[in-house]
Amino acid sequence: MMDFSNRTIGFGITGSFCTHEKIKTEIRRLKDLGADVVPIFSYQTMQTDTRFGKAEDFVCEVCKITGNEGIRSIAEAEPVGPKKLLDVMVIAPCTGNSLAKLQAGISDTPVLMAAKAHMRNNRPLVVSISTNDALGINFKNIGALMHMKNIYFVPFGQDNYQSKPSSMIAKTELLADTVAAALEGKQLQPILR
């Protein structure tokens, strides 16, 4: 059984609001495995109410699960690197927008700034995609990130090939396994499922 009791895991949460319930389940699982989980919220996650729920309720629930108020601004995210605050960082869900910015080196949200700061320490970044354009314009970004050192993907596949043929989503139930493999410098296989 995995034991994350001596690990601090940064958990960056971006849009893709339809996956937020699954994300809470995985945060609970990481906590149950002993991890100290530090939530990192994108501005959209903190501000956007959707048919899936109110932003404030979601943020409060994640903070309650983790026991941590989290990182909510770029200024709060910047010290992640210099202070070496995290053993591993997860971005889940990672939207197409965040994926493209990550690949381009843009750090205009707390999640992306934390990722940039974290990566300077040669520590693993785990990406859990959820994007309607994975097999479209973001396909090149996925490929570029897969080629980068210390970036690992939660295995993923098409979620609705008939209605959304370019859409792909991570198998979030494999998130903890992916984190464990990434901490050993390995990509959980197979990536496409």
User: So where are the chain's domains?
Assistant: 8-183
170 DSSP β-pair partners: 156
- Topology at the third CATH level for domain 8-183: Rossmann fold (3.40.50)
Cα–Cα distance measured from residue 74 to residue 96, given in angstroms and rounded to the nearest whole number: 20
Q: Residue 160: what pLDDT?
A: 86
CA pair distance 43, 74, nearest whole angstrom: 10
At 130 the three-state DSSP class reads strand
What backbone torsions phi and psi does residue 71 show, to the nearest 5 degrees? -105, 125
Predicted local distance difference test score (pLDDT) of residue 108: 97
Per-residue pLDDT of the chain (193 residues; tens, 9 = 90+): 689 999 999 999 999 988 999 999 999 999 999 999 999 999 999 999 999 999 999 999 999 999 999 999 999 999 999 999 999 999 999 999 999 999 999 999 999 999 999 999 999 999 999 999 999 999 999 999 999 999 999 999 999 889 999 999 999 999 999 999 999 999 999 999 9
What is the pLDDT, as a whole number, of residue 155? 98
The answer to whether the CB of 96 falls within 8 A of the CB of 138 is yes
